[in-house]
Amino acid sequence: MRKRPQVVIVGAGFGGLGAAEQLAHVPVEVTLIDRHNYHTFQPLLYQVATSLLNAEDVGAPVRSMFRHQENVSFRLGTVTGIDVPGHKIRPEDDKEIAYDYLVLAGGATVNYFNTPGAAEHAFPLYTLMNAVKLRNRILERFEAADRDPELIKEGALNFVIVGAGPTGVETAGALSDLFFNLLPHDFHQLATENARVIILDMGKEVLATFRENLRVYAKEELEERRVELRLGEAVTEVGPTFVRLKSGEEIKTHTLVWAGGVRANPLADMLGQPQGRGGRVKLSPDLSVPDHPEIFVVGDMGEVASDGKVLPQLGSVAMQSGEHVGRQIARRLGGEPGQPFKYWDKGFMATIGRGSAVVEFPNKRTLHGPLAYFAWLGVHLALLSGMRNRIETLWNWGWTALTHDRAARIIIEPKDDESQAFPKSVA
């Protein structure tokens, strides 16, 4: 019997999942490989970092997602090389995997723009482990300041966020709720009112890609929530206890969250193909690589365009581009010509803290305030993978709304595991 065409998909993010699901009824064998055994719902990572949700609520096991799709095999591994002429990918510590079609969906990674000290001292927010590390740091700094209040003068309770886009704004709003509404009840001796949340951005606006009325609303809401906005300020250096600005000013901080930019996954550099802004691979209209029609790039890694316009790096763009590529592979197998990608714009939204959000619809109409916040809750709940995650998330949100409590207020240090580690000879 003739072997079915092999489709290898690298990355089980929104793009990779979209492609794999679209291939459900296509006569191909799909290998979906990811460095984690779960899909991460990035839009809610800031809620893990700020103790609103448990890590497990925003991670869904990939194997369980494809339990009923038999043409998909999952492989846990990190891809470290691509043999483009040989049609193979190289996972670390594993044998090469051959492909007839390759779908690269590795997403994006943090871009520090070569800022000295940022890679060593800043906290990015792109993976579940990033979110857990940030949560540990936040809670641990409050514990440290409780033991030694002198640390407050050293900046232990100053939390600086670089980037006034949706991730920065959402994180700042959630930190403000945590610091000024919840932690004062936990720390009876600590002057929690001395905590500071500061957003730094080179640009002059918060949520710069949103319409003006929403930008004005977001700024006012943040200020009301005691978030300090330092706009038009560039970061020149990050240290363990400070951040230095272009003006020469130094702000004391032990925790700097980097929400200031992304670049395409380094896998994009391995193709040897032209790359656009942020290292995104330049693509043909059907999302294949111009010199290699058997390779497709979807989501944040690619310069995904619709009607000639390069699209922003969003979950919906990644999901739809993945689905499109799944359809293109099916068409190629059926001998049909490729089709250009067409994006269905559903608008975008961001929260600014409890009870407050902004929504911009595709027809440019806007919504803000509590109604927008409930719309945001509904959309994100619907988009989460898996019923169990939805129920747990709804439960956590409901619990927080009723009690002002946050379930995931625990410090889990990786070093706690050391006593349980397998001896080397057994592992």
Annotated catalytic sites, by residue? 170
Q: Nearest distance from residue 130's CB to ligand FAD, in Å? A: 9
For ligand FAD, which stretch binds (CB under 6 A), given 146-154, 224-232, 235-243, 315-323? Answer: 315-323
Q: Is residue 350 a contact partner of residue 339, using CB atoms and an 8 Å limit?
A: no
For ligand FAD, which stretch binds (CB under 6 A), given 7-15, 112-120, 245-253, 392-400? Answer: 7-15
* Tokens 């929690």 found at: 192
Query: 162 has which bridge partners?
Result: 200, 258
Q: How many beta carbons lie within 10 A of that of residue 418, not counting itself?
A: 8
* Collapsed DSSP state (helix, strand, coil) of residue 73: strand
The β-bridge relationship of strands 88-91 and 97-98 is antiparallel
CA 101 – CA 191 distance, rounded (Å): 59
Q: Give, as ranges, the residues between 142 and 171 that touch ligand FAD (CB under 6 A).
A: 166-167
CA 293 – CA 283 distance, rounded (Å): 10
| Position 130 contacts ligand FAD (CB under 6 A) | no
Listed residue (74, 105, 100) closest to 86, CA to CA:
100
Query: How remote is the C-alpha of 283 from its chain's centroid?
Result: 23
Q: Give, as ranges, the residues between 186 and 245 that touch ligand FAD (CB under 6 A).
A: none
The β-bridge relationship of strands 158-162 and 255-258 is parallel
* Contact code string over 247-276 relative to ligand FAD, x by CB under 6 A: ------------------x-x---------
Q: Nearest distance from residue 255's CB to ligand FAD, in Å? A: 16
For ligand FAD, which stretch binds (CB under 6 A), given 102-110, 325-333, 390-398, 419-427? Answer: 102-110
Query: 109 has which bridge partners?
Result: 263
* Contact code string over 168-197 relative to ligand FAD, x by CB under 6 A: ------------------------------
| Position 360 contacts ligand FAD (CB under 6 A) | no
Distances (CA, A) of 84 to 90, 99, 223: 11, 10, 51
Q: Give, as ranges, the residues between 11 and 70 that touch ligand FAD (CB under 6 A).
A: 11-16, 33-36, 40, 42-43, 45-46
| Position 315 contacts ligand FAD (CB under 6 A) | yes
| Position 316 contacts ligand FAD (CB under 6 A) | yes
Q: Which residue is nearest to ligand FAD (CB)?
A: 13
